């Protein structure tokens, strides 16, 4: 669990860290589109250069970064192998014959899939490594602002999202505490067959949900005592500002996008 | 009145935090079944739907679906996730509807048959079933349309068929076990929480 990097924040002071979270979120969405649009050798070279450039600019050690992706590697390998075995002819009787034909077309297809996933995973990990969770929440809320016109309660959703993110570490500590307390009483977690395992989770799930319920009660009383009325008509303490560096980063990505369009096989 | 409203906002947020937590801590969200695993996140959605109502079930269900969708691209939860859940129809819609229907079934059975425990069991079964049937059904629909195939570079729907056939099996088996498991597991913790909520609404 500790080896997984995605979702963690690494406090450093780099250009990528200081970018506006809105710019970074939008760039990540845009990047996924780019990855799926690229289809020639050169377009992938451009994408890889762009990705490595972003990682270098974030001052995060590349080795550390790759080590964090390692737990996901077998998933990618599995996907690639499935794609390789099943893409040229089929999955039944001519398995052996089909296996030989894999080499021509299957490897290219599965190689492309592997590169796509690695690129997307690396970029999204970079996003969470360089952006604080609450900044992501604020950024998402501000990006959702146009949805106000179709009556989506954006402010309420933003409030819920920031409370949720704030309480993930708290609930995590609590889950571990409950697990240890139940272990001390003789519960074996993660052992035995499926039903035994599911059964051992009950003394963890019930207290976790109950305490979440109690916490919600306390928190809502505390919020109202501090004058929280409704999500509408609230002012903001964290204000996001769009700097020149955000515009420049976007320009660089747009140039990359244009280059990919040029090198793409249509 | 506002009291109830704020409480609901916060409990939804905390249930969202639990869903996030179940995604982060593998032992809370998944029980491994050989190479694949069954998820306990559906349980959280069903709890939300029964304890609070269909609307909250939809909120938590949609949140789970969104996370599944984003994870399929960025941090796949299983080997089949990148093949299937990159389609929002498969990742989000079943989870949204499972919260909605579980909530409605609970309310309906409770009102007409007056059996608290049975209502919870039926609602849980409905929620799990809706999720599984819709995930598998939608995969079957896309099994005939090569739309997903091109996104992954597989050539033609014929070859994609085999890839998706595996996906149906790996999705169906863990979720079938989930169906069996969820109903009895959920009834106990839910009852207490439901009482508590009623209590706080009255005061």
Distance, CA of B114 to CA of B117 (rounded, Å)? 9
Residue B59's pLDDT band, with cuts at 50, 70 and 90, is very high
Q: Is the model's pLDDT at A164 over the cut of 60?
A: yes
| Whether residue A5 is found in the same domain as residue A89 | yes
Residue A187 touches chain B, beta carbons under 8 Å: no
Residues A63-82 have pLDDT tens digits of 777 777 777 777 777 777 76
The pLDDT assigned to B62 comes to 93
Burial environment of residue B124 by CB neighbours within 10 A (0 to 12, 13 to 18, 19 or more) = buried
Smallest CA–CA separation between A110 and chain B, in Å? 8
- Is residue B63's pLDDT more than 90? yes
Which residue of B lies nearest to A198 if distances are taken between CA atoms?
A: B31
pLDDT tens sequence across A200-241: 888 888 888 888 888 988 898 898 888 887 766 777 777 777
Please state, in angstroms and rounded to a whole number, the distance separating the CA atoms of residues A160 and A104: 51
Q: Which of A90, A198, A215 sits opposite B185 (nearest CB)?
A: A198
- Domain co-membership, A112 together with A66: yes
> Is the pLDDT at B13 greater than 90, yes or no?
yes
- How far A196 CA lies from chain B's nearest CA (Å)? 11
Tell me: do A96 and A160 sit in the same domain.
no
Instruction: Tell me if B43 and A205 make a contact (CB, 8 A cut-off).
Output: yes
ipTM value > 0.85? no
Q: Is some CB atom of chain B closer than 8 A to the CB atom of A180?
A: no
Q: What is the mean pLDDT of residues A90-112?
A: 56
| pLDDT number for residue A51 | 87
Q: Tell me, yes or no, whether A140 and A126 share the same domain.
A: no
> What's the pLDDT score for residue B178?
62
User: In this complex, which of A36, A163, A197 lies closest to B10 when CB atoms are compared?
Assistant: A163
Percent of chain B with pLDDT over 70: 63
Least confident of A85-94, B118-127, B160-169: A85-94
Considering the domain architecture, whether residues A103 and A137 belong to the same structural domain is answered as no
Cβ of residue B21 closer than 8 Å to a chain A Cβ: yes
Residues A186 and A105 in one domain: no
DSSP string covering A105-154, please?
A: HHHHHHHHHHHHHHHHHHHHHHHHHHS-HHHHHHHHHHHHGGGGGGT--H
Using CA coordinates, name the residue in chain B closest to A125. Answer: B74
Q: Which residue is closest to A106 within chain B, CA to CA?
A: B154
Mean pLDDT is lowest, of A77-81, A152-156, A218-222, B68-72, for: A77-81
Inter-chain touch A220–B33, beta carbons under 8 Å? no
Q: Poorest-confidence range of A85-94, A98-107, B121-130, B172-181? A: A85-94
Read off the pLDDT band of A36 (50, 70, 90): confident
Q: Is B198 on the interface with A (CB under 8 A)?
A: no
Report whether pLDDT(B87) > 90: no
In this predicted structure, the answer to whether residue A184 has a pLDDT above a threshold of 90 is: yes
Indicate if A5 and A118 belong to the same structural domain.
yes
**Mutating which of B8, B10, B46, B165 best tests the A interface, going by the most A Cβ atoms within 10 A?**
B10
Least confident of A11-25, A110-124, A215-229: A11-25
CB atoms A204 and B28 under 8 Å: yes
**Is the CB of A84 inside 8 Å of chain B's CB atoms?**
no
A118 in the same domain as A23 = yes
Residue B43 pLDDT greater than 70, yes or no: yes
Are residues A7 and A127 part of one domain?
yes
Is A79 an interface residue toward B (CB < 8 Å)?
Answer: yes
A161, B13: Cβ pair inside 8 Å? yes
- In this prediction, residue B85 has a pLDDT band, given cuts at 50, 70 and 90, of confident
On whether any CB of chain B is under 8 Å from the CB of A43, the answer is no
Tell me, yes or no, whether A120 and A146 share the same domain. no
A47 CA to chain B: closest CA distance, Å? 16
SS3 content of chain A, % helix, strand, coil (to 5): 75, 0, 25
Whether A79 and A37 have beta carbons less than 8 Å apart is answered as no
Find the range with the poorest average confidence among A39-48, A117-126, A166-175, B35-44.
Answer: B35-44
What is the number of structural domains in chain A? Answer: 2
pTM of the predicted model as reported, rounded to 2 decimal places: 0.80
CA atoms within 13 A on the CB side of A220: 24
Q: Does the pLDDT at position B6 exceed 80?
A: yes
The answer to whether residue B152 neighbours chain A at the CB level (below 8 Å) is yes
Domain that holds residue A53: 1-131+241-266
Say if the Cβ atoms of B13 and A229 lie within 8 Å.
no
Does A77 share its domain with A179?
no
- Taking the C-alpha atoms of residue B87 and residue B60, their distance in angstroms, rounded to an integer, is 19
What pLDDT does residue B124 have? 82
Same domain, A7 and A96: yes
> How far is residue A37's CA from residue A44's CA, in Å, rounded to a whole number?
10
Look at residue A98 in the predicted model and tell me its pLDDT. Answer: 46
């Amino acid at each position: 669990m500790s080896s997984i990097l995605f979702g963690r924040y690494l406090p450093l002071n780099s250009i990528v860290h200081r970018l506006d979270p809105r710019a970074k979120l939008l760039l990540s969405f845009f990047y996924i589109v780019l990855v799926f649009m690229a289809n020639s050798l050169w377009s992938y070279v451009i994408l890889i250069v762009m990705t490595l450039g972003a990682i270098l600019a974030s001052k995060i050690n590349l080795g550390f970064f790759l080590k964090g992706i390692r737990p996901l590697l077998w998933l990618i390998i599995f996907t690639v192998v499935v794609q390789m075995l099943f893409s040229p002819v089929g999955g039944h009787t001519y398995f052996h014959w089909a296996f030989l034909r894999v080499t021509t077309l299957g490897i290219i297809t599965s190689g492309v899939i592997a590169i796509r996933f690695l690129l997307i995973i690396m970029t999204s990990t970079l996003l969470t490594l360089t952006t604080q969770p609450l900044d992501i929440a604020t950024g998402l809320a501000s990006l959702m602002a146009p949805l106000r016109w179709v009556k989506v309660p954006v402010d309420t959703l933003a409030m819920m999202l920031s409370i949720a993110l704030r309480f993930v570490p708290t609930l995590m500590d609590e889950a571990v505490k409950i697990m240890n307390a139940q272990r001390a009483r003789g519960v074996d977690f993660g052992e035995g067959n499926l039903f035994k395992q599911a059964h051992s989770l009950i003394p963890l799930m019930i207290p976790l949900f109950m305490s979440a319920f109690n916490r919600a009660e306390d928190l809502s009383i505390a919020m109202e005592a501090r004058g929280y009325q409704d999500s509408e008509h609230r002012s903001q303490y964290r204000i996001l500002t769009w700097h020149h560096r955000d515009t420049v980063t976007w320009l660089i990505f747009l140039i990359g996008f244009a280059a990919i369009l040029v090198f793409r096989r249509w | 009145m506002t009291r109830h409203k704020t409480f609901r906002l916060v409990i939804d947020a905390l249930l969202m935090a639990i869903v996030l937590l179940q995604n982060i801590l593998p032992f809370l969200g998944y029980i491994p079944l050989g190479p694949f695993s069954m998820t306990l996140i559906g349980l959280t959605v069903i709890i939300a739907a029964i304890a609070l109502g269909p609307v909250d079930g939809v909120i938590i269900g949609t949140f789970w679906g969104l996370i599944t969708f984003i994870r399929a691209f960025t941090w796949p939860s299983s080997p089949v996730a990148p093949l299937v859940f990159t389609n929002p129809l498969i990742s989000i819609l079943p989870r949204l509807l499972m919260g909605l229907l579980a909530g409605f079934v609970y309310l309906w059975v409770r009102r007409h048959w007056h059996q608290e425990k049975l209502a919870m069991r039926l609602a849980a079964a409905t929620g799990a079933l809706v999720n599984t049937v819709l995930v598998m059904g939608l995969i079957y629909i896309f099994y005939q349309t090569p739309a997903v195939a091109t996104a992954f570079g597989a050539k033609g729907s014929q070859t994609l068929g085999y890839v998706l056939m595996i996906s149906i099996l790996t999705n169906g088996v863990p979720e079938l076990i989930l169906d069996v498991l969820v109903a009895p597991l959920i009834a106990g913790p839910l009852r207490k929480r439901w009482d508590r909520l009623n209590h706080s609404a009255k005061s």
